[in-house]
């Protein structure tokens, strides 16, 4: 395989998608709030129902946002009958990093210059002591849920993740694409070319639909009766 030719193809495809002229069946996540969650749900369920779609591609370029939004998106991904590809470009920070790791194993990609950041949930709540105490309880539970999920998706134990966080005195944990792959957040470095019936990784390996079925990563769509 000619690496130069492969890179040119990837670059052209990437620029096409960034220009807004790429496949309309790509989902883009740039924010984590109630509005973005609603858009995500609408797009995701549409692709789930489309029998021509074999792999659901999600592109992530985000500073992060609300953890409740993250958990809603993650639940949709984990309940999907189709493999879900997560592709991080630009930045995958906080909720963005967790969503990146939530994709189907083998279909999680990081652009070479992707910036990844993992940190604890923060809150700027002020008010009565009882309000602050309740807020702290909620934040602690959100942290537990987010880090439990992240550790699971990376194939690590919660203790291993806690050790990484504590090694930095609970400060922000920044990772490069290579570090993320080593830690199990992503499976490949690069931007994949994707179509409705197959995906081509940056390594040039075609994964046809029948192979996905063999691996248990996709089901043969059933035609509606009538």
Active site residue 9: no
Q: Report d(CA 159, CA 98) in Å as an integer.
A: 17
Q: CB neighbours of 174 closer than 8 A, spacing ≥ 6?
A: 115, 116, 117
119 burial level (CB within 10 Å; 0-12, 13-18, 19+):
middle
- Which residue in 6, 9, 119, 152 is the catalytic one? 119
Within 13 Å, how many C-alpha atoms sit on residue 165's CB side? Answer: 18
- Strands 206-208, 198-200: pairing is antiparallel
- Which residue in 62, 94, 98, 201 is the catalytic one? 94
Active site residue 119: yes
- Cα torsion for 10, 15, 16, 20, to the nearest 10°? 140
Q: What's the sign of the alpha-carbon dihedral 53, 24, 202, 100?
A: negative
Active site residues: 94, 119
């Amino acid at each position: 395989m000619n690496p130069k030719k492969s890179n040119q193809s990837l670059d052209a495809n990437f620029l096409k998608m960034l220009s807004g002229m790429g496949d309309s069946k790509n989902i883009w996540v740039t924010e984590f709030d109630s509005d973005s969650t609603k858009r995500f749900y609408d797009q995701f369920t549409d692709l789930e129902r489309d029998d021509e779609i074999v792999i659901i591609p999600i592109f992530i370029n985000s500073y992060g946002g609300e953890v409740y939004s993250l958990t809603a998106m993650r639940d949709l991904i984990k309940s999907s009958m189709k493999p879900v590809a997560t592709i991080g470009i630009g930045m995958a920070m906080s909720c963005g990093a967790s969503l990146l790791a939530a994709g189907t194993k083998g279909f999680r990609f990081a652009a070479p210059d992707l910036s990844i950041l993992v940190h604890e949930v923060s809150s700027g709540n002020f008010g009565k002591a009882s309000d602050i105490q309740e807020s702290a309880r909620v934040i602690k539970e959100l942290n537990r849920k987010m880090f439990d999920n992240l550790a699971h998706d990376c194939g690590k134990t919660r203790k291993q993740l806690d050790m990484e966080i504590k090694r930095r005195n609970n400060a922000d944990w920044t990772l490069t694409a290579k570090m993320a792959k080593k830690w199990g957040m992503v499976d490949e470095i690069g931007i994949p070319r994707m179509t409705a019936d197959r995906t081509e990784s940056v390594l040039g390996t075609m994964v046809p639909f029948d192979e996905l079925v063999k691996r248990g990563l996709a089901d043969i769509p059933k035609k509606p009766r009538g």
